[in-house]
Amino acid sequence: MPETPAIEVQNLSKSYSTPAGLLPVLRQVNLRVPTGAFTSIIGPSGSGKSTLFNIIAGLEHPDAGTVLLAGQPATGQRGQVAYMPQRDALLPWRTVLDNAVLATTVQRGDVAAARREARALLPTFGLEGFGESLPAALSGGMRQRAALLRTVMWKQPMMLLDEPFGALDAITRAQLQRWLLTLWDELDRTVLLVTHDVDEAILLSDYVAVLTARPARVALTLTMDLPRPRTYQMITTPAFARLKEQLLAALGDEL
């Protein structure tokens, strides 16, 4: 029997009421994210990628359709996935460690044990020596790593990352892309990433799904048949170029 996907959305549709009338954002979206895979979603600005994430995370309800997590109905259920939004959203009055254990604090779990675990992970996340620092003392890249540590500490096997590196400079972004690949391999989590960067999607992912312009649907899901570990030298290879050509063709002039 085929393996149950970690995340599956079936025929999702969503519209919003506006002063100008009903605004359709998602229309009959279908997506399967295999367990343990790194999957990216690309699409035009305003195509509903963040809305799709909010629905998967249970923060919004669809007008129609179903969300399945590990094969179980999860539409509208919060706390089933770890979600890192576009902005790091670190609480400025909490230290790196206190931000990292926020989920445990909210759930009234063993905060002391969570802090010990988070402290042990600081070197892995490039944050050694910064556990007691406030977010204002961190660089942009360090803030993103701190936000990802908080996401990992949520202890969910599925992670949603919404443009986590979009606001960073090119050098820092490239460093964190390489770091994220290493971390994903070590943590053995299912990752669903939203990005506007086609090269980033190809370099990081096992699969890339292309959304159309609003109202969005999945125009193409493509397997990234490149060997791992991935290196930036792959960007210049014919195989990489072929994948990029296929994705850009699916996007058309919309990205």
pLDDT digits (tens, 9 = 90+) for 219-244: 999 999 999 888 888 999 999 999 99
| C-alpha span between 160 and 110 (Å, rounded) | 24
Q: Which pLDDT does position 96 carry in this prediction? A: 95
| pLDDT grade for 124, boundaries at 50, 70 and 90 | confident
Residue whose token pair is 């009055």: 93
pLDDT digits (tens, 9 = 90+) for 58-97: 999 999 999 999 999 999 898 889 988 877 789 999 999 9
pTM (predicted TM-score): 0.88
Residue whose token pair is 């936000």: 147
% of the chain with per-residue pLDDT over 90: 55
Contact 11, 66 (CB under 8 A): yes
